[in-house]
Structure 1
Amino acid sequence: MAKKNLPIKLFQKRQKIDDRRVEGGGGDNVPKWELSGHLLAERAESFIAPINELIDVFQKRNDSREFIPATLKIDIDDNAIAKSHRKDIQKIFNGKVTKNNIIGFLDSNSAIVKVDSIEEGLQIKNNIANYLKNPRGISAIESIEVFKPFIVDIEENQAVKISLIDFLNYEINNAVKIAFIKYCTEFNIEVKEVNYSSGLIIFKIKNASKGVLDSISGFEALESITFMPKYQVETDSIESEDTLDIKWPTDGIEYPIVGVLDSGVSRNPYLEPWLLEDKFSSYPDELIDPMHGSCVSSIILYGDQLQGKNWTGNTGCKIFDATVFPDQKQESIDEDELVENIREAIKNNNHIKIWNLSLGTASESSINDFSDFGKALDDIQLANDVIICKSTGNCRNFEKGHPKSRVARSGDSVRCLVVGSVAHSKNTHDIADINHPSPFTRIGPGPANSIKPDLVSFGGNAGLDGGRTIQNGVNAISHDGSAVKIMGTSFATPRVTSLLSELNFKINETFNPTLLKALAIHSAKYPTGISLPISERVNQMGFGIPDSADEIIYNDPHEITLILQENITRGEFIEILEFPFPESLIDDDGFFYGEIKITLVGQPVLREKQGAEYCQSNLELKFGTYENIKNRDTTKANILNEIGPDDTQNVLLDSNYKSLHLKDTESEYARERVLLNYGKKYQPVKKYSVNLSEMKDSRQRDSLANNRKWYAKIKGTYRDFAETLAIQDGEELNQDFTLIVTIRDTKAQKQVYNEVSRLLAARNFMHSNIKLREEVNVQIEDEI
């Protein structure tokens, strides 16, 4: 195998040449589900009663709170949920003023509509009565009812979380909060507002009773009352007789820093040399049990040595102890307290860019909505420009012979790099084979079919012996410096954290969270011997196990990795024609060949109250060939771009490839092959890995003839809610993203790195080797 010592490359789009404007198009065909005649009339008639009920609500309302809008819950037909039909639904509820009264989604199909006044309610009633003017909007709605908050049944003296409706108006929301506090005070109820994120209005009552809930259930802006979740760490460990040499920082050498959000880190002989003097703690020493945090930190520092493997390539890093979790034998912690501790720790130390969070909850994530905790982590990361590596959570279903649970509610963060566990070894009673998902790891998909976990690493194995759980843990160092074996996704996560810290340190570029995520995901492979089909691999293992740092940042002569870091604004797209694909990769039949691996990671637009549509932005990617560049007539309607490609063929489509390869789980390339149909899914992470030689013969002839040219196209799209709100607020919607493309000669014959380097220069792409802290002398023959 050729030596990897050639740095991966950054390149830039060509200004003006590669910029395009989004063009309109498409007709207005009548959908099959649109009603007519008596069916349309009956549907409209069924909506009148709930509107009358809403008007009655206004008339009976307390005068001091008459400013609070009333709310409806509408259920939308599955077939009409698409963005293209949203305007027709809005027309019914917008009254006489042009605005969007659909303010949130409860799940994928149920929306909340605000109604500001009796007059607006009467206008909505009139819109429904005139159903012939908007048959599509009426048909798209299955039912309407006055919104009723969800209120959990509780026992005495339990902490509850109270969510208020976000009316998308600062003044109204502020007045609502004041009114709610006053309302509670009248009933002698003590409430506290807690900070999750800017789009969530949440209060907490510490010792609630059923009577308390009954008292506040009538507040007009109440959305839900639920239990305040509690969080925990699992620290079951087994003593080990293994020994390990203490490693020491080298004087005069700078090291990366990792923030450990955990139960505390002890200053034992192994960790002391690497622990920063400065620390953050939400608790006094007597309320701290550093066992869990010390084990996590030991894997960040010594993970490769402990297992005798080069899994991360970490050469050492400083540890910042952020104690956000108390000794659970003495004190429990509620979700809002944990969020507050994490926010304060990161905000006060946001010069530290990589953080580890190996804490979780036993609750499974929702199918259709993202957790408040996940949203809070997303908000914290964006506000402080950091990455949190988060465990996917553990479950004990294997002890009962049940299927694995889905990712925990604490592991559904969109911006976090969420990590699951695979088995490092297999003993007599262990359930999982080596390199397969651990019995205790939680799996995907996340809410709204999001890909979670993102990655996996080694966190242990487990089995049963006569009904008794047998642990096969990974090696770690306990708080007292003794060697232990311990299992859990908590101890897979720090390996990925360690890798990211090493990558961030080695790469001497401006910190970019999408770049680091993309590099780790781009490098990931599935272990040898995994027999799962592609879609199930992604559910169980995300995109696989990432490579070590040096393997990620270097190429060999027969491959090249190109990185594009850009921002794309709504109404525009990037179309790179004459993409520098190596012209030497032509087989004996005259077709292009080789492996293409592409990873696209965006910084998504998120809106907290949109249910399954929490992720409001998407990046669409096409990569392939075209015949020629053609001139376009911009005098015609909807034609805005003067040039464009002719006969484009997207080589990333799974339908291009032979079914026998799609089903293949045994070949060496099966470890890397990623052919997913993302369709219109709003996924901030997309990865493709294809071997052009596996393409169907007919598609090869259409797509890979040696006279064709290559292109890449990236287009940003947004949901209707984000677009409407942006227009109201004067916001310009945009997304930062990182695109990574690796092209490899599968025959290891052509000098791909040299050739593509020359093509970049010849085609006027600004490009450079990625800046690394340690310079390597690289000889590139004839490079321009």
Structure 2
Amino acid sequence: MNNILQLKGQFHKRRNTQSFGPVNLPKDAKVSAKHVNELRKQLEGVKKYWESTPVIKGALVSAHYQRIVPKSNRLQFLLGEKGKHPNDAIRGAKFVDELSAGNHMRKKHVFTYFVSLDTLQKTINYLEKCEEVIKRFYNNEISDIDTENMNKGQYDDSIMKKNPFLKTVVDVFFVERFQIDRAPKEAKESSIVTIYKTGVETIELLSKLGIEMINAKMINETTLRLDKGEIEILHNNAPYLIAMQVRDFSKVVIDDLEQTEEENTITIDSPQSEPTVGVIDTQFDERVYFHEWVEYHRKVDDIIELGSEDYFHGTSVSSIIVDGPRFNPKLEDGCGRFKVRHFGVATAGGFSSFTILKLIRDIVASNRDIKVWNLSLGSAMEINPNFISPEAAELDRIQCEYDVIFVVAGTNRGPKNSESIKIGAPADSLNSIVVNSVDFDGKPASYTRIGPVLSFFYKPDICYYGGDKSERITVCEPLGMAKVCGTSFAAPWITRKMAYLIHIVGLSREVAKALIIDSAAGWNRQDGIKYSMGYGIVPKNIQDIIHSTDDEIRFIMNGTIDEYETYTYNIPVPQDMNAYPFFAKATLAYFPSCDRDQGVDYTSTEMDLHFGRIMEKNGKATIKAIDYNKQAEEGIQKIYEEYARKLYRKWDNVKHISEALKDNARPRKVYGSGMWGISIKTKERLLPRAGRGLQFGLVITLKEMNGINRIDEFIKLCMLKGWLVTSIDIQNQIDVYSKAEEEIEFE
């Protein structure tokens, strides 16, 4: 087997030099005076409502678009506050499924804006003038040809100046209608509610409605816990304020347990310098044989009386992380043992999302030495297609702020659920690694739940062996050994692997996550329309993750985003008879900041990956991407947002691109420079340059078509081109880690 290589060298940076051209309607587009008139009347109705309902200092208005739109096709002019872009007024985003003009169901974007009444009136005035111009000068309908002629000087500005008119027409084209959206009545019990940001403080706003708040109920400035009576008041008096709502008390789906056996006498050595993993779960029983390896902290209120059932789940999870391979020899992973710092935050019966949200941040902030956290608690309720759960959003924020990673169980379907159901919170966390379960035949387990998240994001990320009724996982519980199955017992095996990669091998969390996903995908990725297995099953043994086969060259790279484009055009791939005899694949992972208030447009930063051969086109060097990605290429017709997301995973924080293995494949043509290149183009949803300084991890694999080992040739070529090449020798890494953990005694 070949060692993985680490390439270090200079990535080049480039600012975005592309400038926006003149404002025009899209090709073949038309806007009618009738449509402008309809939008104006809708906004007049919205304004009249808010003038008679002065609960907030302004107006909430939802713009329903014709399709899923990119940032550039959102409102660019209408609803813009003085001196600000309309994007600054967005308070939420969601998808709705509606009939299109061709009578087909189509997913469409809906954005909710908060603006002043003056801005609303100003927008109405623009629409009124725009309608008059179209009626008088364009026979009730304006086309893309007309807007092109305007930019050539053919325009009568007696009614409306050219620039605001063109911007109004383009905005009108993409918007289907304006209206006030109201949240449907859902939960009738305690709920976690997020209200739209308006010009009034949340406590003051709710007190106007008769809901007295105390700070203890607040999660952040707009998210809070309300009881049944308060929910009723809010729905009856101001349903337009509710951006998101989920029930607070989540029932834990208990994993399937088989009869418990008497524990044989088992001993274990005392812990030494092994890495420590964090576990957030139900309680831990300190009577088990491996108790010396676990530092236990009870985090439920002392007034809660704990029963024996409250210790089963948490103790079982920690037993796998500490010593799982001992009683599951088929799952021997070569990772050794790990110490655990176990935080008991829940009981077997369920948990309050509000309480968990408060606890997790404090736990992580107080234990900064822990880099990998296992969270095998999950809700029985399905995720919402239009917003991230509060628990997942908090995990995503924590991972951005504290440079940690969570491994999260994909949640289980209960025995009474015969139909396929969506995963439950917090398995919708995008920055976490979400793990589903397969049986020992490699098929989705009988209790499997599915993604996607927000109608788009691939979740789960991967899957692993969690047992099923035919063959289960063995764990240690308070009463002895037990046979179990569930995603709760698949996730800890991945936690072990992540801890090994980060602590022992010394990889960044970005590279470690990319490597786990890349190893699961292999050359036959499993992600697809079923959303049950993620990218595939992670190999059992860590050696199969940190090595590649003899006919493969696998190398990793780290980097930081400082400008619009981060690139290198200097990767020398070995040639044979002036051709590249390789298949290629690449996996990119990063941890973007996320904004739950943005609904379906949740991730704030997009990294657009291009990887392939360098060729010359129109006098410029360009990358011929292995997945034919042409996003952001100059001179290329724009790709619809809907297809960019589907084909190139736009806005997803994991990018995996791969060529298919073919028996009759021919070696790839060598272009002029004889080099391959990587380009990562970065886009921001909200604030420009907000994602600067963001780290990324990249794993690239080249597979020789004829089974020849060309890794030595690749190393020499890379060194010739100035790359610092390090072969990751695991024994050497173990020695380095052990030496670093030694306690030095000074005489």
TM range (shorter): 0.7 to 0.9
**C-alpha distance in 2, partners of 1:405/1:33?**
42
Residue in structure 2 matched with residue 650 of structure 1 by the alignment: 625
When residues 695 and 567 of structure 1 are mapped into structure 2, their CA distance, relative to the original with a 3 A threshold, is: farther
Change (3 A) 1:534 1:336: closer
1:99 to 80, 85, 88: 85
Q: Is the contact between residue 40 and residue 135 of structure 1 (CA under 8 Å) also seen in structure 2?
A: no
Amino acid at match of 1:355: W
Which of 421, 425, 428 aligns to 1:412? It is 428
Q: Partners in 1 of 2:222 and 2:273 — Cα distance?
A: 43
Change in 2 beyond 3 A, CA 1:607/1:458: same
1:579 matched to 2:548? The reply is: no
1:76 to 49, 65, 82: 65
> Is 1:322 matched up with 2:343?
yes
Query: Which whole-Å deviations, capped at 9, do the CAs of 1:641-690 have from their partners, x for residues lacking one?
Result: xxx426x42223499xxxxxxxxxxxxxxxxxxxx963252111112333
1:89-238 equivalence runs, <5 A: 89-100=75-86, 101-108=88-95, 109-116=109-116, 118-131=117-130, 133=165, 134-152=168-186, 154=188, 158-167=189-198, 172=199, 176-180=201-205, 182-183=207-208, 187=210, 189=212, 191-194=214-217, 196=219, 201-206=222-227, 208=229, 212-213=233-234, 217-218=237-238, 222-223=242-243, 226-238=246-258
Q: Distance in 2 between matches of 1:654 and 1:500?
A: 30
User: How far off its partner does 1:771 sit?
Assistant: 7.6
Name 1:249's counterpart in structure 2.
269
Amino acid across the alignment from 1:651:
I
Superposed displacement of residue 576, structure 1: 1.6
Q: Does 1:522 align with 2:522?
A: no
Q: Which residue of 376, 395, 408 maps to 1:358?
A: 376
| Contact 1:176-1:221 within 8 A present in 2 as well | no
- After superposition, the Cα gap between the structure-2 partners of 1:104 and 1:379, relative to the gap in structure 1 and judged at 3 Å, is same
Aligned to 1:561: 554
Matched residue pairs, number? 669
Match of 1:760 in 2: 718
Gapped regions of structure 1 (runs ≥ 5): 425-433, 463-470, 633-643, 656-675, 778-784
- Tell me how far 1:770 sits from its aligned partner: 4.3
Whole-angstrom CA distance in 2 between matches of 1:770 and 1:602: 22
Q: Distance in 2 between matches of 1:367 and 1:225?
A: 12
Secondary structure (helix, strand or coil) at the match of 1:107 reads strand
**Structure 2 CA distance for partners of 1:119 and 1:525, relative to 1, 3 Å:** closer
Give the drift of 1:9. 2.5
The corresponding residue for 1:660 is: none
8 Å contact 2:31–2:172 — kept in the other structure?
no
Match of 1:592 among 577, 580, 585: 580
Paired residue secondary structure (2:538): coil
* Distance in 2, Cα, partners of 1:218 & 1:689: 49
Decide whether aligned partners of structure 1 residues 706 and 558 sit closer, same or farther in structure 2, where only a CA change above 3 A counts: farther
Contact 1:653 1:677 in 2 (8 A): no
Secondary structure at the counterpart of residue 410 of structure 1: coil
Aligned CA distance change for structure 1 residues 279 and 365 (closer, same or farther; 3 Å):
same
Closer, same or farther in 2 for the Cα pair 1:598/1:37, shift >3 Å? closer
1:36 maps to which residue? 31
> Does 2:482 align with 1:484?
yes
Residue 373 of structure 1: which of 356, 380, 391 is its match?
391
CA contact (8 A) 1:716 1:735 kept: no
Tell me the secondary structure at the aligned position of residue 411 of structure 1: coil
Shift of 1:493: 0.8
**TM superposition shift of 1:214:** 6.0
Aligned residues with identical type, % of pairs: 20
- TM-score by structure 2 length? 0.81
Moved more, 765-774 or 683-692: 765-774
- Contact 1:628-1:645 at 8 Å conserved across structures: yes
**Shift in CA distance, 444/262, structure 1 to aligned 2, threshold 3 Å:** same
2:474 maps to 475
Q: Distance in 2 between matches of 1:213 and 1:692?
A: 57
Q: Distance in 1 between matches of 2:266 and 2:356?
A: 33
> Relative to 1, partners in 2 of residues 1:74 and 1:367: Cα closer, same or farther, differing over 3 Å?
same
Distance between the aligned counterparts of 2:693 and 2:425, measured in 1? Answer: 28
| TM-score of the pair, normalised by structure 1 | 0.77
CA contact (8 A) 1:95 1:124 kept: no
Q: Is the 8 A contact 1:594 1:746 kept in 2?
A: yes
Structure 1 position 304 matched with structure 2 position 299: no
Distance 1:127 1:734 in 2: 40
Asked if structure 2 preserves the Cα contact closer than 8 Å seen for 1:90 and 1:102, the reply is: no
- Alignment counterpart, residue 363 of structure 2, candidates 345, 350, 366: 345
1:327/1:38 CA distance change after superposition, 3 Å? closer
**2:514 partner letter:** A
Q: Which amino acid aligns with 2:681?
A: G
Aligned to 1:710: 675
Query: Residues of 2 paired with 1:400 and 1:552: CA distance?
Result: 35
- The verdict on how the C-alpha distance between 1:245 and 1:446 changes in structure 2, with shifts beyond 3 A counting, is farther
Contact 1:103 1:166 in 2 (8 A): no
Secondary structure at the aligned position of 1:129 is classed as helix
Q: CA deviation at 1:269?
A: 3.7
Distance change in 2, residues 1:773/1:104 (3 Å) = farther
1:686 aligns with 2:655: yes
Structure 1's 244 and 624: CA in aligned 2 closer, same or farther, altered over 3 A?
farther
Give the letter aligned to residue 164 of structure 1: I
Deviation at 1:775, TM superposition (A): 4.8
Moved more, 46-55 or 408-417: 46-55
Measure, in 2, the Cα distance between the counterparts of 1:689 and 1:121.
48
Q: CA deviation at 1:419?
A: 0.3
Where 2:528 maps in the other structure, the secondary structure is helix
Counterparts of 1:161 and 1:241 in 2: how far apart (Å)? 41
Say if 2:527 and 2:533, in contact at 8 Å, map to a contact too: no
Residue 17 of structure 2 is matched in structure 1 by: 23
Q: Which residue of the partner structure matches residue 275 of structure 1?
A: 294
SS in 2 for 1:345: helix
Kindly indicate whether the alpha-carbon contact (under 8 Å) linking 2:318 and 2:342 is maintained by their aligned counterparts in 1: no
Report SS of the residue matched to 1:535. coil
Letter in 1 for 2:621: P
* Residue 632 of structure 2 is aligned to residue 616 of structure 1: no
Partner Cα separation in structure 1 for residue 655 and residue 232 of structure 2 = 49
Change beyond 3 A, Cα 1:540–1:534: closer
1:599-642 C-alpha deviation (Å, 9 max, x unpaired): 11012232221111101222222222234699x6xxxxxxxxxx
How far off is 1:75 after superposition? 0.8
1:405, 1:442 within 8 Å by CA — same for their partners in 2?
yes
1:268 Cα deviation from its structure 2 partner? 3.4
Matched, 1:47 2:72: no
**Contact 1:445–1:452 (CA under 8 A) maintained in structure 2:** yes
Contact 2:608/2:650 (CA < 8 Å) preserved in 1? no
Give the stretch that moved more between structures: 765-774 or 444-453: 765-774
Q: Over the residues paired in the alignment, what is the CA RMSD in angstroms?
A: 3.4
Deviation at 1:533, TM superposition (A): 7.2
| Distance of aligned partners of 1:563 and 1:32 in 2 relative to their CA distance in 1, 3 Å threshold | same
**CA distance, structure 2, for counterparts of residue 34 and residue 71 of structure 1:** 29
Shift of 1:392: 0.9
Q: Deviations over 1:172-196 (max 9, x none)?
A: 5xx5134136436xx4745555565
